[in-house]
Amino acid sequence: MKVNEGTFLKKDGSPRFMRFARFEDLPKEFLASKISGEGKKKNMPEGLELVYDLDADGFRVFNWKEVLGEVDTFEEEVSNLL
């Protein structure tokens, strides 16, 4: 599965490192178990993206407008999502 790692500045100005998976990279069975209802995508303000935080084991918002450095993407087996 594609895993992303990056750091961005939070609203309070502190840095936030996150290991995350984007929606399109999550297994469909996993998403179905986490999302109830129709699963319609909510519109986020420009530059913000709802992602799955692999360390916090929950959905979080990644702020692409405040990225520090690069966001790395690589393949990794994530057993808790299978």
Average pLDDT of adjacent 10-residue blocks, the chain of 82 residues: 96 97 91 73 88 94 97 89 62
Q: Which domain holds residue 52?
A: 2-81
Q: Which two tokens stand for residue 26?
A: 């999550």
Position 36 scores a pLDDT of 75
pTM over 0.95, yes/no: no
**Encoded amino acid at 36, one letter:** S
Q: What is the number of domains present in the chain?
A: 1
- Provide the pairing of β-strand 48-53 with 58-63: antiparallel
Position 40 scores a pLDDT of 61
